[in-house]
Every structure is written in C-alpha cells, then in structure tokens.
C-alpha cells in the first residue's frame, strides 16, 4: 500500500508542474498578444517598420596560404583591367586629344610601371 501512496504523490506533483508550465506558456502568449495588439502595439509596429536591416555582402580580403614552416604556397594578387572603346560615339578625336595627357598621367601615377609618355604613346597608337 505504501507504493501506491508514493505513486499518487508523484503523480500529484507532476500534475502541479504540468499546470505551472501551461500557466507560464499562457502568460507568455498573453504578453505577446498584449505587446502586439495592446495600447502601444501600433507605436511598436511603426518603430519596427522604420528600423530596416540591409544585408550587404562584403568580399573577404584574400591572403596567402602558408605551409607549416611559413613558406608561401599560394598568394592572391590583385589585378586590374582597363578597356576603352575607341569606336564609342561620345569619344571624338577632339575630346580624346584634349584629355589623353590627363589619362596618361593618371595611369602612370596609379600603376607606377611606365612613364606618362609611354602610356600616352600606347594610347595614341592604339586609336
């Protein structure tokens, strides 16, 4: 008979815990409804609409892959490619000749591999 009393006592405690968990769940659900549709609900929804998040992909900086001893196995080298359409309608000979010096200067200062005169000669001979 003592075993039945213990079993009833355990079931009583489980029912009480079950009741409290249901009560806590209903309280959370009620609070959620109050926040959404209560007197401040409209104000909170308008604030939520004003706050926006924008997902932006940021390209990662590429680096070197090193061996255990520190030797470089692979390296990322940035590269640039500049193209010009000499047949474009907006690029007349007059505009090109008036701006070729500036373009050659900018290319020489950016890449630092050739002189301004070398870039100008290359641009003029390409067209």
What is the DSSP track for 62-78? P--EE-TTS-EEE----
Outline where 38-115 has alpha helix (H).
41-50, 93-111
pTM (predicted TM-score): 0.36
Residue 64 lies in a domain: no
pLDDT for the residue numbered 116: 93
Regarding whether 44 and 84 lie in a shared domain, the answer is no
Residue 94 lies in a domain: yes
Domain count for the chain, please give it.
2
41-82 pLDDT tens trace = 788 777 777 776 677 887 776 778 889 998 988 888 777 777
Opening angle at CA 79, ends 78 and 84, nearest 5: 155
Residue 35 lies in a domain: yes
Residue 56 lies in a domain: no
Task: Say if residue 126's pLDDT is above 80.
Answer: no
For the chain, state the CA radius of gyration.
Answer: 37
pLDDT for the residue numbered 96: 85
Regarding whether 46 and 6 lie in a shared domain, the answer is yes
Residue 66 lies in a domain: no
Boundaries of domain holding 15: 2-50
Residue 90 lies in a domain: yes
């Amino acid at each position: 008979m003592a075993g039945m009393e213990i079993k009833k006592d355990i079931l009583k405690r489980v029912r009480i815990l079950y009741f409290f968990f249901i009560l806590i769940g209903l309280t959370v659900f009620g609070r959620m409804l109050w926040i959404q549709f209560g007197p401040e609900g409209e104000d909170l929804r308008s604030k939520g609409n004003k706050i926006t998040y924008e997902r932006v992909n940021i390209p990662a900086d590429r680096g070197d892959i090193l061996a255990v001893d520190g030797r470089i196995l692979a390296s990322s080298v940035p590269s640039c490619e500049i193209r010009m359409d000499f047949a474009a309608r907006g690029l007349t000979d007059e505009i090109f000749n008036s701006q070729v010096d500036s373009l050659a200067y900018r290319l020489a200062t950016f890449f630092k591999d050739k002189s301004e005169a070398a870039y100008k000669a290359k641009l003029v001979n390409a067209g």
